[in-house]
Structure 1
Amino acid sequence: MRRWFGSTKNIAGCLGGLIGLVLYAVGVIGPLWLMFVVMAVLYTAGALVAPPEKVRLVVDPAVEAAQVRSALEALLQTVAGHSGRLPPSAVDGVRHVAEVLSDLLKDPLRLAATPDLQYRVLLLARTDLPLSVETYLNLPRWFASRRDAGGTSAEDELAKQLDLLRGKAEKLAAEYYAADVNRQEDHTRYLGEDC
């Protein structure tokens, strides 16, 4: 219902109704009851003639990046709040991955220019990193440090996951900044040619 009030159809209908009110005010329409009928007809005509709202399925990259960066900040606050439960290396690992991803999200239009890279950055930021931390924090404390028959614990698994996530984040950053690195290398070659 709220979307209707700001829609183009409602605005066009209101303009039609306003025309009916102006026609009554200048004396074109006689009795008051006729004014209401004319306003209703003009409102309906305006609403029917107005174009429908455009469908918007694609999210604005700037809005999406801001939401994801906010979610990363919330994740870091959650990690800081549970730092007693997480191994210190895990806290540092989450912070590092979140910083790399947040940096990649600073220029959302540049990131959106490479949809595959954008998808992988968003997947890492929205799903992979939070899922690793969430899964570990949802385990009972006594169970997280317990070693299984193979000698590994949930802490070990979290450390492995964070190492993999760090590698993925750094690989994405290398891909994101590849053009800048190439530009810098080209400039170095250019400067070396004159010597």
Structure 2
Amino acid sequence: MATNRPHRLVGFLESRKNLTGSACGLAGVVLTLTGLAGPYWPVVVAGLYGAGALLAPPERPAPPDFPDPSAQLEEVRGDFGRLRGYLADVELPPAAEERLAGLTGLLAGLLEPGWVAEVLAADPEGLHAVSRAVRQDVPEAVDAYLRTRWWTRLTPGQQPPEAHLERQLALLRGEAERLADRLRDAEARRQESHTRYLEDRSEH
């Protein structure tokens, strides 16, 4: 506890309350030197200091320094590169391979550096959806298939694991397509708004 006292003292000396109170107290000293405070100058100086300290805005802690959307997008892009390296070493049935290629192609288009990625970075929900697909959904679907396929070989006759994998990849592709449609619609609305703005401006 004792080691924190010097830090607290320095913090108080640098606080808005102390600085504002000191400035008001200095004004009281000026009044004293000019003779306006009279014999009650200690009360005037102390009163002005207290009034300044009360009027000062309260201290507030700085908000957390979270990475901005562009930095988050770069992290997701790097993770997507690692995911593609993992998928390159995985052997999947042709139908599942085709569905996976369609999904990863769509994700690659959304993450491609340029204006499309900038639109994605400005959409927190969309960026979260892509991040979840890259970091969780796709690797989990593929890994679960590989694990289940091994067990199916020991106990044949069960539902083929590739059926679940194909269904999962189709669902993920649908989510990615809906996201792309939503981002496209946002750009279309932006274009329409600019048209209306130019039309309204030409009428005046």
The residue identity in structure 2 corresponding to 1:74 is R
Residue 157 of structure 1 corresponds to which residue in structure 2?
A: 164
Once the two structures are aligned, what percentage of the paired residues are identical?
Answer: 32
Residue 16 of structure 2 corresponds to which residue in structure 1?
A: none
1:1-195 to structure 2, matched below 5 A, reads 56-83=64-91, 86-106=92-112, 107-141=116-150, 143=152, 146-148=156-158, 152-181=159-188
Separation (CA, whole Å) in 1 of partners of 2:77 and 2:140? 16
Shift of 1:58: 2.0
Shift of 1:157: 0.5
Separation (CA, whole Å) in 1 of partners of 2:106 and 2:188? 17
Q: Is the Cα–Cα contact under 8 Å of residues 87 and 155 in structure 1 kept in the other structure?
A: yes
Post-superposition CA distance 1:121-141 (Å, at most 9, x none): 222222111211121123353
The residue identity in structure 2 corresponding to 1:68 is V
Separation (CA, whole Å) in 2 of partners of 1:116 and 1:182? 18
Structure 1 or 2, whichever has the larger Rg, is 2
The DSSP-based 3-state class of the residue aligned with 1:177 is helix
- Report the number of matched residues: 130
Separation (CA, whole Å) in 2 of partners of 1:146 and 1:63? 47
The residue identity in structure 2 corresponding to 1:127 is Q
Separation (CA, whole Å) in 1 of partners of 2:118 and 2:102? 23
Post-superposition CA distance 1:136-170 (Å, at most 9, x none): 1233536269442xxx2211110111111111111
Separation (CA, whole Å) in 2 of partners of 1:186 and 1:62? 26
Unaligned 5+ runs, structure 2: 1-60, 195-204
Separation (CA, whole Å) in 1 of partners of 2:109 and 2:70? 14
Post-superposition CA distance 1:6-43 (Å, at most 9, x none): xxxxxxxxxxxxxxxxxxxxxxxxxxxxxxxxxxxxxx
The DSSP-based 3-state class of the residue aligned with 1:59 is coil
Q: Is the Cα–Cα contact under 8 Å of residues 80 and 91 in structure 1 kept in the other structure?
A: no
Separation (CA, whole Å) in 1 of partners of 2:106 and 2:168? 16
Q: Is the Cα–Cα contact under 8 Å of residues 76 and 95 in structure 1 kept in the other structure?
A: no
Unaligned 5+ runs, structure 1: 1-52, 188-195
Q: For the structure 1 residues 184 and 57, does the alpha-carbon distance in structure 2 shift closer, same or farther, using more than 3 Å as the test?
A: closer
Shift of 1:108: 4.4
